[in-house]
Amino acid sequence: MEHTLDIDGWRTNLRFSACHMLVRHQKCSRIHGHSYAIHLRLRGETDENHYLFDFGVAKKKLREFAKELDHRVIIPTGSDEIRTENDRKNGRVVVDMAGKRYVFPEEDVILIPTRASTVEELSSYLLNRLVAELVLPSGVKQISLGIDEGPGQGAWSTIDIEKDE
């Protein structure tokens, strides 16, 4: 029998606050912020102990991700439309985006290898990291990670897990 394990980031306090900007968006190209939540859903068959995955292990890893992103400016590095210069000598990050130039203290920025800082891209980025960094039990067949940028609005990414037989 297939089971689903859900972790609601709002209710379990898997949250972070951050700011970003989106290239070519009429309103959201201006720097702005959100209160985000991270959600997780696993599907598959339980093991001999009758559970799919340990909630504590999953939440610990998601809290690490939230801590990395919390109170940061999220800057994607995979876009041709956004150029970044990490000026380590002066402790700052310079960002050029669609004719705008931003200079941030290095400690306030997180550079992520995505094309944009949308919830769609953030959910894919964190899901791929989660799959790479966790050892998933053989019963897990699918894993989905959602990012909300406020209650009721967000995006999910899903990976089907293929196990070697």
pTM for the whole thing?
Answer: 0.93
Per-residue pLDDT, 164: 60
**66 part of a folded domain:** yes
Phi-psi sector, 41: left (phi>0), alpha (psi -120 to 50), beta: beta
To 10 degrees, the CA torsion angle through 108, 85, 83, 66?
-30
Per-residue pLDDT, 107: 95
**78 part of a folded domain:** no
Report pLDDT digits (tens) over 40-65: 999 999 988 888 999 999 999 999 99
**114 part of a folded domain:** yes
> Which residue segment(s) compose the domain that 65 sits in?
3-73+110-160
Q: Which amino acid is at 32?
A: H
Question: Cα separations (Å) of 113 from 36, 69, 76?
Answer: 19, 13, 6
Structure tokens of 96?
Answer: 């050029």
Per-residue pLDDT, 3: 94
Per-residue pLDDT, 80: 87
**98 part of a folded domain:** no
Hey, which residues does 76 pair with through a beta bridge?
112
**92 part of a folded domain:** no
How many folded domains does the chain comprise? 1
Report pLDDT digits (tens) over 98-149: 889 999 999 999 999 999 999 999 999 999 999 999 999 999 999 999 999 9
CATH of the domain at 60: 3.30.479.10
List the catalytic residues. 28, 71, 149
Per-residue pLDDT, 165: 54
Which residues lie below 8 Å from residue 102, measured CB to CB, with a gap of 6+?
Answer: 31, 73, 94, 95
